[in-house]
Structure 1
Amino acid sequence: MTKPIRIAPSILSADFAKLGEEVRAVDNAGADWIHVDVMDGHFVPNITIGPAVVKALRPHSEKTFDVHLMISPVDAYLEEFAEAGADILTVHPEAGAHTHRTIQTIKALGKKAGLSLNPGTPTNVLDYLIDELDLILVMSVNPGFGGQSFIDSQLRKIEDIRRRIDASGRDIDLEVDGGINADTSQRVRDAGADALVAGSATFKGGPSAYADNIAALRGEER
């Protein structure tokens, strides 16, 4: 199933002093989704934002809020982020004892469910979960910080997951996050990704550059 490429700017690279303005700016510049990285200083070595910030940002865009929960244990916070305005909730299999139950909880909250695979997480974790998922997120860096370099081995993982999605016959988004720029975006698109998370590559140059940055990530000329 061929889908248009969706660009999901990660607000981790935005100006935190004016997050609402930044969300509006990338929305107007052509972003498809708004990617929100939630980190707890425990599951990953950084602390970012919680549900109160998601709720505060929700009025600034009608685009899909793509919320990536890098927190453990994760189950206790699913309802808060759902109520705050998340449209997609993505979790890690390592973030709780019962991943299938976590996915079921997300669906019961009326949200799309995503599963994120760290660079060292094998694709066989999908064997008994893929039929429950709306999105699979491949981390092409180790999660925790923005601005890292793309890990080339993840291209094989993207190709493997693309085959799994196609074989399932289900409408599952294949998203990639980490080291995405105009060069690596082409490589991950060729490998089968259809949604790209980009932080510094989107927000570099300030608001006047956002539309050009997003077009470059799509492989388009402006």
Structure 2
Amino acid sequence: MVGGPSILAADFANLAEDVRRARDGGAGFVHFDAMDNHYVPNLSIGPLVAASLVPRTDLPVDVHLMVDNPDNLIPMFLDAGVASISVHPEAVTHLHRVLGMIRAGGAEAGVALNPTTPPETLEWALPYLDYVLLLSVNPGFGGQTFIPETTEKIRRLREMTDLPIAVDGGINAQTAPLVVEAGARALVAGSAVYKGDPATEMRKIIESGRRAAEG
């Protein structure tokens, strides 16, 4: 079980330092949310910020593309040196081709599922995936409340595949055990990490999830 900070909640004026502080709390990756104000009602950061961050951290940078036509941005994120990229099936026309593009560029390929997008959507994409990202809030904004039905969705997906399942949205020390017990292997936390000292808060979430994983 691994945890990582969502930098959407970080201080962008001190981004590398905020990532370092979460790493000190045991973070195993960095989650990077790119939004276009079309697929989701918010605008965030893009490939140039990723290219600046990658050389400033030894953690793998995981990119979540909440954008229409992600094909246009994927090459630039690959050039930035990110480790993994996930896309939403609703936002692409040819998912097979997009996943192949990500893998051919040397990154791991993932699909992100919105709260009401059924796991069965992925049935024919599973051979081309390296992981699945389940959103336990509606995409676009940080600080939302965890949607409890996510745990059943994790169990359903776990019945379909052994791929690593990451969960993002409303993850904190209280909800982490719920998703880990259901089968999640990676926890993405933003507001809960950066509400206080990132090292302390990151450690709390990771330890809470690991205790659940150990039974």
TM-score (normalised: structure 2): 0.93
Amino acid at match of 1:154: T
How many angstroms apart in 2 are the aligned matches of 1:72 and 1:204?
30
Percent of aligned pairs with the same residue?
46
* Distance verdict in 2 for CA 1:219–1:204, change over 3 Å: farther
Q: Is the counterpart of residue 27 in structure 1 residue 18 in structure 2? A: no
Match of 2:120 among 116, 121, 124: 124
User: What are the superposed Cα offsets for residues 21-76 of structure 1, whole Å, 9 maximum, x if unpaired?
Assistant: 11121122210010001111110011110100001111221111111011111111
5+ unaligned residues in a row in structure 1: which ranges?
Answer: 167-171
RMSD after superposition: 1.4
How many angstroms apart in 2 are the aligned matches of 1:86 and 1:17?
21
Partner residue in 1 for 2:91: 95
How many angstroms apart in 1 are the aligned matches of 2:54 and 2:91?
25
Match of 2:10 among 14, 20, 23: 14
Q: Is the counterpart of residue 86 in structure 1 residue 82 in structure 2? A: yes
**Are 2:137 and 2:169, in contact at CA under 8 Å, matched by a contact in 1?**
yes
Amino acid at match of 2:185: D
**Are 2:26 and 2:203, in contact at CA under 8 Å, matched by a contact in 1?**
no
Q: Describe the SS at the equivalent of 1:68.
A: strand
Partner residue in 2 for 1:62: 58
Post-superposition shift, 1:145? 0.2
**Are 2:24 and 2:199, in contact at CA under 8 Å, matched by a contact in 1?**
no
Post-superposition shift, 1:209? 2.6
* Distance verdict in 2 for CA 1:208–1:136, change over 3 Å: closer
TM-score (normalised: structure 1): 0.91
Q: Describe the SS at the equivalent of 1:183.
A: coil
Post-superposition shift, 1:216? 4.2
How many angstroms apart in 1 are the aligned matches of 2:204 and 2:13?
21
How many angstroms apart in 1 are the aligned matches of 2:80 and 2:108?
14
Q: Describe the SS at the equivalent of 1:182.
A: coil
Amino acid at match of 1:28: D
Amino acid at match of 1:206: D
Map 1:103-182 → 2, pairs under 5 A:
103-166=99-162, 172-182=163-173
Q: Describe the SS at the equivalent of 1:205.
A: coil
User: What are the superposed Cα offsets for residues 101-158 of structure 1, whole Å, 9 maximum, x if unpaired?
Assistant: 1111111111100000001111111110011100101101000000000111121110
Runs of 4+ aligned residues of structure 1 deviating over 6 Å after TM superposition are none
Aligned residue pairs: how many? Answer: 211
Partner residue in 1 for 2:191: 200
Amino acid at match of 2:58: E
How many angstroms apart in 1 are the aligned matches of 2:148 and 2:198?
30
* Distance verdict in 2 for CA 1:32–1:137, change over 3 Å: same
Amino acid at match of 1:160: R
* Distance verdict in 2 for CA 1:160–1:210, change over 3 Å: same
How many angstroms apart in 1 are the aligned matches of 2:195 and 2:209?
16
**Are 1:30 and 1:214, in contact at CA under 8 Å, matched by a contact in 2?**
no
Amino acid at match of 1:198: A
How many angstroms apart in 2 are the aligned matches of 1:8 and 1:162?
21
5+ unaligned residues in a row in structure 2: which ranges?
Answer: none
**Are 1:23 and 1:57, in contact at CA under 8 Å, matched by a contact in 2?**
no
How many angstroms apart in 2 are the aligned matches of 1:205 and 1:191?
28
Post-superposition shift, 1:208? 5.6
User: What are the superposed Cα offsets for residues 164-201 of structure 1, whole Å, 9 maximum, x if unpaired?
Assistant: 113xxxxx210000011111110000100000100011
Post-superposition shift, 1:211? 5.1
